[in-house]
Structures are given as structure tokens and as C-alpha cells.
Structure 1
Amino acid sequence: MKKQQIGLFKIIKHSFFWIAVSVMMMIGSIVLFVVNARLSIEFTGGIDLTINELNNEENLVSALKDGLTAQGFNQPQINIEKEGTNTSLLVSLPFENDEQVKEVSSGVNQILLNQGFISSPDAIVGLSLNGPSVSSYMKSGAINAIIVGLILISIYIMFSFASVRKHISPLVLGGVTILTMLFDTSIALGAYGLWMAFNSTVTVDTIFIISILTIMGYSINDTIIILDRIRENIARQSDSLDKGTVLYGQLVEDSIWQTMRRSLGTGVTTLLVTLTMFIFGTDMLQKFAFTIAIGIIAGTYSSLFFASPMTYIFLNKWKKELKKL
């Protein structure tokens, strides 16, 4: 049997290696995120104040912690971010009800005025309150959005690849797509967790959730490109596969290299746009662009070195074919 090598190196022959590397990357990324995760007040409840011309800023955090603790609010989390002449002050606590949020807001205002951090109440030019009820709604909304997305994606895969069920189950391809998407999002989680470790102002907020949902969609698109080529090649060489004159492993290998330029081209062009957004964008846009950029890099890698090897392993042909590849 003559095999035609169209790629620079063999990928499918080392399927277990690529899968093992990818799994370790996933585990490391998840650990990074869990260790450093810090929820925004949108999810924990809290107060966001924008203060114009703040005085004695270096003593503000300790004064607020001491003052709020004296008022019976334990373990307050204080974050300060400077934006020109304005200062963003975030105060988060494990609130039990919405009334506590108002009490803390009043307490913070008293501390700021009584200790001379602001000259008058007019120095507070922005105020946002998030209570437990709002936080609970935001959490459930984010979880529901992710679950619905996963269900719809699985349904699409099952119907889209029904024509090649003779050689590979659509359920297998659906499972590969979901696992690849989990890999892409976990890498983005890990990178974001690392950013949170070095920047106390970076938190898990709605912008981050939107970014993750966007990565899920991009991941599906990237994976579909390679799986669709595998589907086309299976349909085109169905008789040869039945006769054994074409190896499944070589078919998947050829599919990878046939789509390599397209996958890399799409990834690079999209990455350039997100990098521009990160460099010239503001705070929220930077968070979005950073997360998307990591997701694009992960998606390009996973479609070639994770989804494809996993598809081949799930075909259960590797025991007979690996030595022939």
C-alpha cells in the first residue's frame, strides 16, 4: 500500500502524545484559574464608586477595612484603580441581603468624608450598587447561556455529520467538538487567571463571560473546518476504506494538512484584529480582546493537534494502523 505524505511531519502517528500534552495544558490552565479566580461585584455583590480628586490615597484601603470592620462588616475586599483624575473604588463583601449593600455604601461615604479622603459628597461622580439578588441573577444567566450553547452545538453536530455515520458516529464527532471547545476555553481561563494573579483590578465579570461564549463559537467554527474535511474525505473514499486500501489514519492526516493553511490564516488574521483592540482599547475592551486572543491561539492549535488525533482515536482503528502510518 503506497502512502502519500503531504505534510511536513506526521501528526496522527503521534496522536497519544498530542492528546497527553493537551490534557496537561488543560489541567494546568484550570488550576491557574481556580487558584487566582476573583469574581467582580456583578457576581459577589458590592459597591463601585468613581471618585474625583481623591486625597491621601495611600491610606484609603487600610482606613476602609478598619472602618467597615468596626461597623460589623468583616473581611471587606477593597480594590483601587486610577483613571486620570478619577479613582475607581471597588468594595465587595459576602452580603446576605440587598439592605446590607446600602448600609455599606453609607458607611463608605462616611469614612471618605470624615477622614478627609474627599472634600464633599460631590466628589463621588459615579456609584453602582450590586446586591445578592442581582448577583444571583447574573450567575444563573451566565450558567444557562453556556449550557444552552453546549446543547445547541451538540444537536448541530449530530445532524451535520449524519451522512458519514457508516464510518464514524455523529455522537463521536459531537463529543470531539465539545471536548475541543472545553480545551479552548480552559486555556483562556488559565491565561486570564494568570493575568488576575498579577493585576488585582482584573476580575471575572460579564465581559469575561461574553468572551468565553465567543471563544466557544469560534472554537466550534475552527473544529468544524477540519471535521468537515474529514467528512468529505470519508465520503469520497468510502469504498477504499471498506476495502482497506486507504488507512483511516492517513485520511485524517491528509485532512489536517489540507486545511492547515486555512486554519492558520484564519487564526492569524483574527489574532491581529484582537491585538489591535488590546493595544488601543480601554479597560473592558482590553479584557475582551485578551481573552479572545488566547482563545484564538488555543482554537488554532486544538483543531489541528487535539481534535484530529482525538477523532482518530475514537474511530478505534489505531490498534491496527499506527504501525503502518
Structure 2
Amino acid sequence: MKINLKVIKKRKLYLGISVAMVLISLISLFTIKLNLGVDFKGGELIQLKYNQKIDQNAVNNALNSLVGQIPQMKAKRVQFSDTDNTVIIRTEQMSGSQKAKIMSELNQKTGKYEVVKNETVGAVIGKELTANAFQALIIGSILIIIYITVRFEFIYAVAGIVALIHDVIISFGVITMLRYEIDTPFIAAILTILGYSINDTIVVFDRIRENIKKNRSGRNKVTMSFGEVIEKSINQVFTRSIYTSLTTLFSVIVLLILGGDTLKTFSMTLFVGMLVGTYSSVFVASPLVYIMKKGKDEPKAKDTIKDSGKTVNGYDEKDKVLV
């Protein structure tokens, strides 16, 4: 089946959809209070070490049985380490009696253990984690800009970063609207989305570059405009992008269904981010490259293929950018 998405011809429509999604996400971020997890707003951290192999189901059941008595247990996060038989429990701030109740319940239902840590994580640590998260995003973005600039052009790097910002804002907005908890797994999911989305975008850029070279190798040197090259490239890689995305999304859906509350934010962020990332790599990054390239090259462009002010493929004369 021949695909013709007309991404450049309909760029205003596709970019308009993206702008609308970004605006809705930004409105939600500014109007809905973020549901910050313990990692960012502070709380309790309890680390226990067992003498025997941990029965994870027993620990989870014991903690879940306390939700009715201790409301803070609803937002708990539990991490297990099989290598040293330790359990780390993170909750919102609790009283001494509530923590004692947790210890007693675990002792009765899961066996003997040693308390390695029993401390309150202050909001200062939460702020430090927030700063580190933003730092990781900035460093990652800078490295991506350098890589794409070296491999392609700076214009491609700008388009790629704008597409990534688009993906992050929309993912953040959806998680905010769903009132999911913002925690360190959420940051991990965002960083994963950056890598996934830019990989998809680079596949498209690589095909564009390949077709530009082919376009210049003909006898007449240039046979297609830049817009036509982009559309041809996208049509060639679109099916591959969809199949790759679906394969990954199936795994994420399984994680979303079976992962439980602990992985809920992580898996949902990945799900939304991968959907949006697939969209942006085709319908955002490529049109942006065309718009910026057109603006840069327009004064020098001369169309050698004319037909009443249009190219033979139906592009307006003013949209003609040779490559």
C-alpha cells in the first residue's frame, strides 16, 4: 500500500494539532497542583534487612493491610533487593506510633529483620532531587544537540529538540491531568522518552539526508524540491516507525496492566511519551526542518521546474527550496 501523508503540504494542520496539545498540557500544569511523591516533597524512609530470602508477597500484603489504619500507606513505594535481602519503604510523613505499627505488622507477618534506616526525608532533599532531574534533562538535551549538529546540521538539531520539548510537555501534562504521582520513576520515564523519540526522529532525518544525496546525483542535479524530498522520505519510513512503535507499546501496555501501583506512573508516562514521540518525529520535527531551511535558503532559491507558478508536483513557487 502506497502511503502519502502530505506532511509538508498539510504542515499547518499537523503543527496546529501539536500546538493545541502543548497548550492544553501547559494549562493543566499551571492550574492543577502536582501530585509530588515522597522523593520530591519529603516523607519517611524505612530500610529493613532480613536474615532470609524476602517473601515479597508477604511484605506487600502486610503493608496493604494497614492502608485503612494508616492513610499514608496508600502512596507508599516499596523496593526489594534480593542481593542483600533488604526492603526500602517510602511513605508520606507519619507519626512515631504509625511507624511502630508498621514495624510490628511486618515482624508478625514476614519474619525477623534488622532496621537499617528509619529516617525522615526532608523537603530539602526533595528540592535537590528536582534540581538533579532538571540538570539531567538539560545535559541530555545539550548532548543531543551536539550529536545531531555533527551528524546532520544545526537546523536539524533545533527541530529535534523542539520535538523533544513537545513530547516532554505533553507527557507531563497528561500525567498531571490523571493526578498520577510525580516521583523518580517518572523522571526515568521522561529520560527514556527522550532517547526513544530522538532515535525515531534521527531515522527520519537519516532518510531525508539519503534522499537529498540521491536527488543531487541525477543528470539535472536537482529533480525534487526540499519539501518533496521530505515527504518522500517520511512516506518511506512511516510504516517502519509505526511497526517499531507498536512493538514497544505492546510491552508498555503489559507493564501498565500488570505492573501495579508502583510502576503505574512510569508505565503510563512511557505509553503517552512513545505515542507522542512517534507523532512528533514525523509530523513535528520534519516540518520544522522544512520551515527553517526554507527561511534560510529562500532568497537564493530558484525553481527550474515551473508550471504556472507551481512545481510539477503541485507545490507553490514560494515554497520551493532546492537542496
TM-score by length of 2: 0.72
Measure how far apart 1:43 and its partner are. 1.2
Kept after mapping to 1: 8 A contact 2:43/2:92: yes
Please point out which of 185, 196, 200 is paired with 1:207.
185
In 2, the alpha carbon distance for the partners of 1:241 and 1:195 equals 57
Distance verdict in 2 for CA 1:9–1:206, change over 3 Å:
closer
Q: Over residues 76-108 of structure 1, what are the superposed CA-to-partner deviations in whole Å (9 max), with x where a residue is unaligned?
A: xx673599xxxx99435xxxxxxxxxxxx5xx2
- Determine helix, strand or coil for the equivalent of 1:308: helix
**Structural RMSD (CA):** 3.3
Measure how far apart 1:227 and its partner are. 0.7
Measure how far apart 1:205 and its partner are. 0.6
**Matching residue of 1:136:** 127
Q: Counterpart amino acid of 1:109?
A: G
Runs of 4+ aligned structure 1 residues displaced above 6 Å come to 317-321
Once structures 1 and 2 are overlaid, which stretch shifts more, 141-150 or 25-34?
Answer: 25-34
In 1, the alpha carbon distance for the partners of 2:67 and 2:157 equals 57
Distance verdict in 2 for CA 1:112–1:258, change over 3 Å:
closer
Higher helix share: 1
Please point out which of 16, 26, 34 is paired with 1:20.
16
Q: Counterpart amino acid of 2:188?
A: I
Measure how far apart 1:111 and its partner are. 7.3
**Matching residue of 1:109:** 96
- Determine helix, strand or coil for the equivalent of 1:10: coil
In 1, the alpha carbon distance for the partners of 2:242 and 2:64 equals 47
Q: 2:119 aligned with 1:122, yes or no?
A: no
Structure 1 stretches lacking a partner, 5+ long? 1-5, 62-77, 93-104, 162-169, 197-201
**Matching residue of 1:157:** 148
Kept after mapping to 1: 8 A contact 2:22/2:170: yes
In 2, the alpha carbon distance for the partners of 1:302 and 1:154 equals 17
**Matching residue of 2:269:** 291
Q: 2:78 aligned with 1:80, yes or no?
A: no
Measure how far apart 1:128 and its partner are. 5.5
**Matching residue of 1:146:** 137
User: How much identity, in percent, do the aligned residues show?
Assistant: 32
Please point out which of 41, 45, 59 is paired with 2:42.
45
Q: Over residues 251-296 of structure 1, what are the superposed CA-to-partner deviations in whole Å (9 max), with x where a residue is unaligned?
A: 1100000001110011000000111111111323332221111111
- Determine helix, strand or coil for the equivalent of 1:129: strand
- Determine helix, strand or coil for the equivalent of 1:8: coil
Structure 2 stretches lacking a partner, 5+ long? 47-61, 78-88, 108-114, 299-309
Once structures 1 and 2 are overlaid, which stretch shifts more, 311-320 or 152-161?
Answer: 311-320
Q: 2:4 aligned with 1:8, yes or no?
A: yes
- Determine helix, strand or coil for the equivalent of 2:9: helix
In 1, the alpha carbon distance for the partners of 2:173 and 2:220 equals 43
Once structures 1 and 2 are overlaid, which stretch shifts more, 307-316 or 253-262?
Answer: 307-316
In 1, the alpha carbon distance for the partners of 2:67 and 2:287 equals 59
Q: What aligned pairs does 1:161-172 form with structure 2 within 5 A after superposition?
A: 161=152, 170-172=153-155
Aligned length: 267
